Amino acid sequence: MGESILTEGQRGRGAEGLGAEPDLLFRDAGLSRRGASLYLGDVRLGDIADGAGTPTYVYSLDVIRARYEALKAALAAVPHRICFAVKANGNLAVLRTLARLGAGADIVSGGELKRALAAGFPAERIVFSGVGKTDAELEAAVEAGVGHVHVESAAELGALAAVVTRRGRPLRLGIRVNPDVTADTHPYIATGRGGIKFGVPFDQVLPLARQMGAHRLLTLDTLAMHIGSQILDPRPYSEGARRLVQLVETCAAEGIGSITSLDLGGGLGIRYRDETPLDPGTLLDAVFPALQGRGLTLVLEPGRYLVGPAGLLLTEVLSRKHSGGKDLAVVDAGMNDLVRPSHYSAYHEIVELEASGRPAGVVDVVGPVCETGDFLALDRVLPALERGDRLAVLGAGAYGFVMSSNYNSRPRPAEVVVDGPHWKTARPRETLDDLLRPEDR
């Protein structure tokens, strides 16, 4: 069902699975239990918590590599390009890993452009998407020589045309189409239906394509869509691909024969609890009939699929209290560190770093931020927690640190990468002095 709009309480009640490890989630994440200790690959997570402190994000580069290679193998039957959605996880160590594997980058801001270039993505493998690009961002994209800019409106095309004309530099373009396709996901991350800010409406695509074709420095070679995130059903992709192919045929009938790629965006859903993830092979089967025999390159822009299961958030229990008939465990990670539970009512599995063997019960896992909405889990069945116990929040590799903030003047967590038997700090924990530095002049 994707990002369910049910509350955690509605989804998390019941005592099924008491004391059992979430085997499929462990497999997805590269986790195992050795004795009482939780390991990521060959690294004991307690050692990371000892050395880096908490809260800390931890990413397995081995899991990221394995997921990229699995996606690449699933698409081998068709010409394709894989462009990682930098918005999902912008850590430079993660980005460098994907760049070395041959991935491109899908970006949505000037800051992400700078990160992608710094991580080693060749400019020609960068796709600049995004619903609102400033003049400065368009200038930077043209100056860098990005491979594609996906245009979202006639106004944006006009601004971009002015930049390439002034600089005398050719540019390949895509049109992000709003295919008016509804995907079963949380409404905040459904981006393919009509009446929202994303993409060019179907009936406005051809006039925009004509304008591009009339400009001597602009080449339209891609029609793109992105229908949402955490999608588990391949049917919306099939419908969207079919609609994009209809537009390719309409453009060709008008003499616009430069389109060589269909970009179906990202959004492949993963397992957070008991979902059946969207298998890339199933996705290809769904869209292949629309692509067959047309000589079009398939472009995908996965983010969550590649990095979501590869990441964990480590946190420590600060206190335990009982109020209004409920047990609450207060931990040192809050909504400013991981906003998904509060913002989307999203479910993340939580497990102990060191299995205590204590009897299990129902508890709310809440953070230290001064908001009632500051929680990581509600009505969750966990072994009795005590101050000093350390926990791992699973499935935190996507839309975790990138959405963190300094609310309540809280420094953002450290980021750690695990590579084989080794781990290292990829981004140090912010300090209180870091919070003041931009203002302390």
Q: 311: which DSSP letter?
A: E
Q: Is there a single domain that holds both residue 143 and residue 282?
A: yes
The predicted structure's pLDDT at residue 195: 57
Which residue among the candidates 370, 372, 388, 438 is catalytic per the annotation?
370
Residue 12: both structure tokens together = 């998390």
Looking at the structure, do residues 297 and 195 belong to the same domain, yes or no?
A: yes
Residues 228 and 314 occupy one common structural domain: no
**What is the structure's pLDDT at 228?**
83
Q: What pLDDT sits at residue 162?
A: 97
Helix segments in 254-326, DSSP class H: 280-291, 304-307
CA distance 395 to 344: 14
Decide which of 283, 306, 329 is a domain's last residue: 306
Residue 356 belongs to a domain with what CATH number? 2.40.37.10
Return the residue matching tokens 């931990």. Answer: 331
Pairing of strands 148-151, 126-128: parallel
Q: How many domains does the structure of the chain reveal? A: 2
**What residues pair up with 427 in beta bridges, in sequence order?**
415
E strand or H helix at 394 = none
Task: Report if residue 167 sits inside a domain.
Answer: yes
Do 314 and 212 lie in one domain? The reply is: no
- What is the reported pLDDT for 3? 42
Angstrom distance (rounded) from CA 308 to CA 396: 6
- What whole-number distance in Å separates Cα of residue 397 and Cα of residue 365? 19
Q: Are residues 55 and 137 in the same domain?
A: no
Same domain? For 21 and 127 the reply is: no
Strand order in the sheet with 43-44: 31-34, 37-40, 43-44
Q: Is the residue at 258 inside a domain?
A: yes
Q: Is residue 251 flagged as an active site residue?
A: no
Cα separation, 418 vs 165, in Å, equals 46
R_g (Cα) of the chain, nearest Å: 23
The answer to whether 186 and 245 have CB atoms below 8 angstroms apart is no
Residue 66 lies in a domain: yes
Domain C-terminal end among 258, 289, 306: 306
- Listed residues 306, 328, 361: the one ending a domain: 306
Cβ(223)–Cβ(184) below 8 Å: no
Distance in angstroms (rounded) separating the CA atoms of residues 324 and 321:
10
Cβ atoms of residues 187 and 5 within 8 Å: yes
Range of the domain at 401: 8-60+308-436
Same domain (yes/no): 113, 218 = yes
Rounded distance between C-alpha atoms, residue 259 and residue 340, angstroms? 37
Could you tell me if residue 441 is inside a domain? no
Per-residue b or e along 77-91, where b marks 16 or more CB atoms closer than 10 Å to that residue's CB = eeebbbbbbbbbbbb
| CA separation for the pair 389, 283 (Å, rounded) | 41
> What six digits make up the tokens of 370?
């001064």
For residue 178 the two structure tokens come to 């709003």
Same domain? For 206 and 298 the reply is yes
- pLDDT tens-digit profile, the chain (441 residues): 334 333 333 333 333 333 456 899 999 999 999 999 999 999 999 999 999 999 999 999 999 999 999 999 999 999 999 999 999 999 999 999 999 999 999 999 999 999 999 999 999 999 999 999 999 999 999 999 999 999 999 999 999 999 999 999 999 999 999 887 655 444 444 444 455 577 898 889 999 999 999 999 999 999 999 888 899 999 989 999 999 999 999 999 999 999 999 999 999 999 999 999 999 999 999 999 999 999 999 999 999 999 999 999 999 999 999 999 999 999 999 999 999 999 999 999 999 999 999 999 999 999 999 999 999 999 999 999 999 999 999 999 999 999 999 999 999 999 999 999 999 999 999 999 999 998 976
Q: Give the separation between CA 289 and CA 246, rounded to whole angstroms.
A: 13
| Pure H helices in 308-424 | 340-344
Residue 124 DSSP code: G
Q: Tell me, yes or no, whether 118 and 36 share the same domain.
A: no
- Is residue 14 domain-shared with residue 103, that is, in the same domain? no
DSSP H or E stretch at residue 415: strand 414-419
Instruction: Say if 2 falls within a structural domain.
Output: no
291, 324: one domain: no
In 3D, which of 161, 81, 90, 153 has the Cα closest to residue 119? 90
CATH number of residue 94's parent domain? 3.20.20.10
pLDDT computed for residue 201 by the predictor: 87
313, 403: one domain? yes
Q: Which two tokens stand for residue 246?
A: 């209809």
Query: Between β-strands 218-224 and 261-263, what pairing exists: parallel, antiparallel or unpaired?
Result: parallel
pTM for this one?
Answer: 0.92
1 within a domain of the structure (yes/no): no
DSSP secondary structure of 83-118: EEEGGG---HHHHHHHHHHT-EEEE-SHHHHHHHHH
H or E element: which one contains 377? strand 375-383
CA distance linking residue 165 with residue 17, whole number of Å: 63
2 residue type, one letter: G
Mapped onto helix, strand or coil, the DSSP state of residue 80 is: strand
